[in-house]
C-alpha cells in the first residue's frame, strides 16, 4: 500500500473558468494531479468575484475557493505573443488540457484541439460547452439555469400546478464536470495502453439528458405519452403513491417505498385501497395520507416506519446533517489553507486504498505559479 495518490505526476493545464471545467480539474487535483489554472492577467477567473452571498474569503468569493483548491495559477495575457509562447511550452509538457469556452474561442486564441495536438500529439484534451459544437443552440449562452430550462428538468420538478421549478443547485455544471473527468480518465487509460491521445467533449444539455435517462427511456418507448406530475406532495413524475414529500407536525418527511396497505394501517388512513389504483388515484391517496402525516412529529413517524420497514426519512437542513455526525464519520470535511486563507470545505467523495485523499492547499493566488512561464513545468 502507498500514500501516493493515483494521479500523482499527471500535469493538467486548465484554461476553463467558473464551474463546469474547473469542477473536472478539481476532481483530478484531488486525486493527485498537478493542475495549473490559466487566468487572465490582473483580472483572473470570473468566479473570484461572483458571489453567492456577501461571504468573502480573503476578498474573493467562496465559489472560487471551493472549486479551485489544490491548484496553481498562471496569469497571462492571451493577446501577448510572448505569453502565448510560454503557454505553448506548458502545453508541450501537459498530459491534459481543459477548456470550457464557447465553440471557436480556443481556436481563435490558438489553443484549440488541433493546434494543441500539433504541439503535443499524445495530449488528452477535454472540452465542455453549453449545447455542443454545432447545431441550433450552438451560439446560445451555456449557463446552468438556462440549460435546466431547455432540458426538461425544470418541467419534471415540482407539483403539477406549480409550473416549472429549478433545481436548487448548479446540477448541469457539476454533472458536466464529472462527466468530463470520466472521459479524461478513460482517454488516459487508452493512452497508457495504446500510446495515443485524443479529445473528449461534453455539454450541459448532454449531461442533463443523461440525468433523465430513466424517464426519457420510458417516454421514448411509450408512444410519447408524457408523465402526469402529481398535484400534491410531488417527488417523481412517474412513481405511484405514496412516493413524495409530506409535512409533519414539526417539519417534513420523504416517503419512498413500502407496502401501501401497511402504511395505511400505520397511519390509520381512512380509504378503501382495494378500490383505488396507486398510479391512477395517486393524488387522492397522497392527499389523504398527507392529512394523517401532519398529526405527528417526524421522529414519531420515523419510529413507526423503521419498525415496519417503510422507507422514509426526515427532511434535514444543513444543521441537521452536520449534527447527525455522518459527515464526520465519513471524514468528508476538511480545512484548506494558503498564506491568506483558512476555510472549511468538503473532500473528494472517494476513498483510495481505504483512505480519503486530502487536498489541504487552498485555491491559488492569481499568478502564484508564474515562474512556470519562464522555465519548464
Among all residues, which ones are annotated catalytic? 173
Distances (CA, A) of 15 to 36, 39, 214, 288: 9, 7, 34, 54
Report the C-alpha gap between 69 and 63 in whole angstroms.
10
Enter the DSSP assignment of 245: E
Q: What SS3 state is found at 13?
A: strand
Report the C-alpha gap between 256 and 258 in whole angstroms.
7
Report the C-alpha gap between 62 and 57 in whole angstroms.
6
Q: Which three cell numbers stand for residue 296?
A: 405527528
Q: Which three cell numbers stand for residue 202?
A: 461534453
Report the C-alpha gap between 157 and 155 in whole angstroms.
6
Smallest CA-to-CA distance from 348 within 22, 27, 6 is with: 27
Enter the DSSP assignment of 240: P
Residues in contact with 224: Cβ distance below 8 Å, sequence separation at least 6, in sequence order: none
Report the C-alpha gap between 357 and 350 in whole angstroms.
8
SS3 sequence of 50-103: CCCCCCEECCEEHHHHHHCCCEEEEEECCCCHHHHHHHHHHHHHCCEEEECCCC
Amino acid at each position: 500500500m502507498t500514500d501516493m495518490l493515483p494521479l500523482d505526476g499527471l500535469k493538467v493545464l486548465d484554461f476553463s473558468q467558473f464551474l463546469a471545467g474547473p469542477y473536472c480539474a478539481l476532481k483530478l487535483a484531488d486525486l493527485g494531479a498537478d493542475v495549473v489554472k490559466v487566468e487572465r492577467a490582473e483580472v483572473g477567473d470570473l468566479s473570484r468575484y461572483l458571489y453567492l452571498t456577501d461571504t468573502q474569503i480573503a476578498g474573493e468569493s467562496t465559489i472560487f475557493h471551493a472549486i479551485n483548491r489544490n491548484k496553481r495559477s498562471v496569469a497571462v495575457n492571451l493577446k501577448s505573443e510572448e505569453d502565448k509562447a510560454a503557454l505553448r511550452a506548458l502545453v508541450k509538457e501537459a498530459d491534459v488540457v481543459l477548456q470550457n469556452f464557447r465553440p471557436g474561442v480556443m481556436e481563435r486564441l490558438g489553443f484549440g484541439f488541433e493546434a494543441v495536438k500539433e504541439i503535443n500529439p499524445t495530449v488528452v484534451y477535454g472540452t465542455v460547452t453549453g449545447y455542443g459544437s454545432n447545431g441550433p443552440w450552438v451560439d446560445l449562452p451555456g449557463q446552468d439555469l438556462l440549460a435546466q430550462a431547455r432540458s426538461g428538468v425544470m418541467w419534471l420538478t415540482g407539483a403539477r400546478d406549480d409550473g416549472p421549478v429549478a433545481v436548487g443547485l448548479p446540477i448541469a455544471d457539476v454533472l458536466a464536470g464529472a462527466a468530463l473527468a470520466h472521459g479524461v480518465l478513460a482517454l488516459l487509460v487508452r493512452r497508457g495502453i495504446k500510446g495515443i491521445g485524443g479529445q473528449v467533449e461534453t455539454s450541459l444539455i448532454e449531461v442533463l439528458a443523461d440525468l433523465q435517462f430513466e424517464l426519457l427511456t420510458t417516454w421514448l418507448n411509450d408512444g410519447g405519452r408524457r408523465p402526469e406530475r402529481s398535484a400534491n406532495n410531488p417527488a417523481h413524475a412517474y412513481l405511484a403513491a405514496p412516493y413524495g414529500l409530506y409535512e409533519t407536525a414539526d417539519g417534513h418527511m420523504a416517503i419512498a417505498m413500502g407496502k401501501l396497505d401497511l402504511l395505511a394501517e400505520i397511519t390509520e388512513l381512512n380509504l378503501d385501497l382495494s378500490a383505488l389504483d396507486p398510479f391512477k388515484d395517486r393524488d387522492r391517496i397522497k392527499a389523504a395520507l398527507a392529512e394523517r402525516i401532519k398529526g405527528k412529529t417526524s421522529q414519531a413517524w420515523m419510529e413507526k416506519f423503521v419498525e415496519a420497514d417503510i422507507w422514509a426519512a426526515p427532511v434535514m437542513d444543513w444543521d441537521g446533517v452536520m449534527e447527525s455526525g455522518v459527515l464526520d464519520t465519513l471524514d468528508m470535511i476538511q480545512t484548506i489553507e494558503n498564506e491568506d486563507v483558512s476555510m472549511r470545505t468538503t473532500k473528494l467523495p472517494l476513498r483510495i486504498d481505504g483512505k480519503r485523499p486530502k487536498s489541504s492547499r487552498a485555491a491559488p493566488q492569481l499568478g502564484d505559479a508564474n515562474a512556470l512561464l519562464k522555465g519548464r513545468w
